[in-house]
């Protein structure tokens, strides 16, 4: 009988002899590969932490002990061992298990999270609470080396060294975040990784110190200096100086060794950092060959001869942006590009190949990315900052201080705007219009298709103010229009005009094609609508909005964004300011709730944000 089938909870895991755990790891590895190849998901990161997760569950007592996973995309083994094996085939499918930790699924999950750099802070909060509540439970944070580029991580490490909690931080070092980890900290970890004698020498110094008679402050001080000098030479000094006892590096695939180390450190009541070295993608030829692109993957396809290949669909908005930015930079040597650890996801990996000296990956540091971009703009360069919609909100204060107040001439391209599908609530980019349009002089745009994205990017670079372009994580629609109208700031584009004055749809970005398709279908039933590609959420085409509101019996706004504070809200505010009747305006968008994971098209349809949903709303208004 397979070992995995015996485990319905971690208590059953603890009954398995240690020498059999490597076999369990291989069974879990096989299961994860099978499900991720079928459903898509985060492959490489999960294959690298199987043995680590087994050792953690074998030693600690979850959920009384609390574990926080940074980003939490590497939690698949944790889900399997935490009683969700029977549901694991539903991973990332609509109505199935989330690809991230989700407390509503299980008490073994502490937080619903999908952003990097948060785990040490939340684990520290748990540890401090444990002290106040006078319980002996452990607080454990597991983070990758990529999270050490995030400022929030260091803020938490710094604080932890001051309050001295019962906290264990496990640094899962695989030399990667999504792409290869960059920066001075990556070089520092490489130094630690290659210093095999570090822990042996540190332990020997402790042994010497403990064996000597306590003959006074001078000897203790000398030993302290000796230990500090050795650690400085070997490379472990930073974590020790932050107040953590450093252990490692340890082989993250050696289960018995990790179990032994965890049991030893479990007895200690102080901040501990355990440096675990793992191999991202271990056990999958695909993931080992291409760890960046196989960090998160779509389902694979199989050829007739049984060979596996990755599915490659039609051109995406990301592809269009990558090509357009690279070409524009050929023509303009003042263009620079910035990413926050997402070179592949944003498409800027192509820019780096052609313009390596004008490409800047700052790590998981959105706040720093905006400050850097502001500095470039101050010196007369043209920065393009490519940051996912859901990640840009991490730098809200910099949007205010470094961008808005300075009127910094930066072009922000926000991939993953709208619903992202299987990544779910933590990654849906559905709040950017609301948190951006409040700032004076910001320009907010969104293209209807790939061709318009190219035009929009070129136009944005001619403006002398902050510009934000949002587009979804999907393939670009098949073009319905031979050409687009020329761009002018704050001017919309009428795609379909009706003299019958049956109503108007103001559509923004990804919702333009569904709105146009709906209007074409309705025209077959004698309902002739005017369809407008808004192009801008700020500034709005107020003249056109006023005219259409006066002429038409109803106005429908459609957007792939939260209805609260979004494009529709902006239109209502405009009409109110102009003294127009807002009662005949209907705003379609994402309702006031978090949308869970699932197929993007199905999610949009369930919210009425597709052609069929728009048709239904129009008919309800026509038949009033």
Just list the catalytic residues. Answer: 280, 366, 394
Secondary structure class of 325 (helix, strand, coil): helix
Q: Is the dihedral of CA 301, 302, 304, 307 positive or negative?
A: positive
Whole-number Å distance between alpha carbons of 5 and 27: 10
Transcribe 77-105 into DSSP letters: HHHIIIIIGGGGGGTTSTTS--SS--TTT
Q: Residue 278 forms beta bridges with which residues?
A: none
Structure tokens at 170: 């496990």
Task: Give the contacts of 507 (CB within 8 A, at least 6 positions apart).
Answer: 448, 514, 515, 516, 531, 532, 533, 534, 557, 558, 559
- Taken as a whole, the chain contains a residue count of 624
CA-to-CA separations, 622 to 369, 515, 549, 553, 590, in angstroms, rounded: 48, 16, 16, 9, 23
Q: Which of 160, 114, 159 is nearest to 140 (CA)?
A: 160
Contact criterion met (CB below 8 Å) for 430 and 562: yes
Q: Which of 562, 554, 330, 581 is nearest to 458 (CA)?
A: 330
Task: Give the contacts of 557 (CB within 8 A, at least 6 positions apart).
Answer: 505, 506, 507, 508, 567, 568, 571, 585, 586, 587, 588, 589
Give the CA radius of gyration of the chain. Answer: 27
Q: Residue 536 forms beta bridges with which residues?
A: 445
């Amino acid at each position: 009988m397979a070992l995995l089938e015996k485990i319905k909870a971690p208590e059953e895991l603890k009954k398995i002899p240690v020498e059999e755990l490597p076999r369990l790891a291989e069974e879990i590895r096989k299961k994860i590969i099978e499900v991720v190849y079928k459903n898509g998901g985060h492959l490489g990161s999960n294959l690298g932490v199987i043995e680590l997760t087994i050792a953690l569950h074998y030693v600690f007592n979850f959920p009384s002990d609390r574990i926080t996973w940074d980003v939490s995309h590497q939690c698949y083994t944790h889900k399997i061992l935490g009683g969700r094996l029977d549901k694991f085939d539903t991973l990332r499918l609509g109505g199935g298990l989330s690809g991230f930790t989700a407390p509503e699924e299980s008490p073994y999950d502490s937080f619903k999270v999908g952003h990097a750099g948060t785990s040490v802070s939340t684990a520290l909060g748990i540890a401090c609470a444990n002290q106040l509540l006078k319980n002996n439970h452990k607080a454990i944070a597991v983070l990758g080396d990529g999270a050490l580029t995030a400022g929030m991580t260091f803020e938490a490490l710094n604080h932890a060294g001051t309050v001295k909690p019962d906290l264990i931080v496990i640094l899962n070092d695989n030399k990667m975040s999504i792409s290869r980890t960059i920066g001075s900290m990556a070089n520092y970890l490489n130094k630690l990784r290659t210093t095999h004698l570090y822990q042996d020498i540190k332990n020997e110094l402790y042994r010497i110190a403990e064996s000597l008679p306590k003959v006074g402050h001078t000897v203790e001080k000398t030993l302290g200096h000796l230990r500090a000098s050795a650690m400085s030479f070997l490379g472990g000094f930073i974590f020790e100086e932050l107040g953590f006892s450093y252990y490692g590096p340890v082989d993250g695939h050696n289960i018995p060794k990790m179990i032994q180390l965890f049991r030893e450190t479990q007895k200690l009541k102080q901040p501990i950092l355990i440096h675990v070295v793992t191999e991202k993608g271990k056990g999958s030829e695909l993931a080992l060959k291409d760890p960046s692109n196989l960090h998160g993957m779509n389902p694979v396809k199989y050829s007739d001869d049984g060979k596996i290949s990755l599915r490659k669909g039609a051109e995406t908005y990301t592809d269009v942006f990558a090509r357009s930015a690279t070409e524009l930079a050929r023509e303009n040597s003042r263009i620079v590009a910035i990413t926050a650890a997402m070179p592949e996801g944003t498409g800027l990996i192509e820019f780096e190949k052609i313009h390596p000296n004008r490409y800047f990956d700052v790590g998981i540091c959105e706040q720093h990315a905006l400050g850097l971009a502001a500095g470039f703009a101050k010196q007369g360069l043209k920065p393009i900052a490519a940051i996912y919609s859901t990640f840009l909100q991490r730098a809200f204060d910099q949007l205010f201080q470094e961008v808005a107040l300075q009127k910094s001439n930066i072009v922000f391209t926000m991939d993953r705007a709208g619903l992202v599908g299987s990544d779910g609530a933590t990654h849906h980019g559905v709040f950017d219009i609301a948190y951006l349009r409040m700032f004076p002089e910001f320009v907010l745009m969104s293209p209807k298709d790939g061709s318009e994205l190219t035009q929009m990017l070129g136009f944005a670079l001619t403006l002398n103010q902050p510009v934000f372009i949002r587009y979804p994580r999907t393939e670009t629609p098949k073009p319905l229009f031979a050409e687009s109208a020329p761009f002018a700031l704050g001017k919309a584009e009428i795609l379909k005009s009706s003299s019958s004055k049956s109503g108007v749809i103001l559509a923004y970005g990804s919702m333009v094609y569904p709105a146009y398709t709906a209007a074409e279908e309705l025209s077959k039933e004698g309902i002739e609508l005017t369809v407008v590609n808004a192009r801008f959420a700020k500034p709005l085409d107020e003249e056109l909005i006023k005219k259409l509101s006066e002429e038409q019996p109803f106005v429908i706004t459609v957007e792939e964004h939260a209805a609260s504070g979004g494009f529709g809200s902006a239109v209502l505010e405009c009409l109110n300011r102009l003294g127009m009747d807002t009662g005949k305006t209907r705003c379609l968008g994402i309702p006031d709730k978090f949308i869970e994971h699932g197929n993007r098209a199905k999610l949009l349809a369930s919210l009425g944000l597709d052609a069929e949903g728009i048709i239904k709303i129009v008919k309800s208004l026509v038949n009033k």
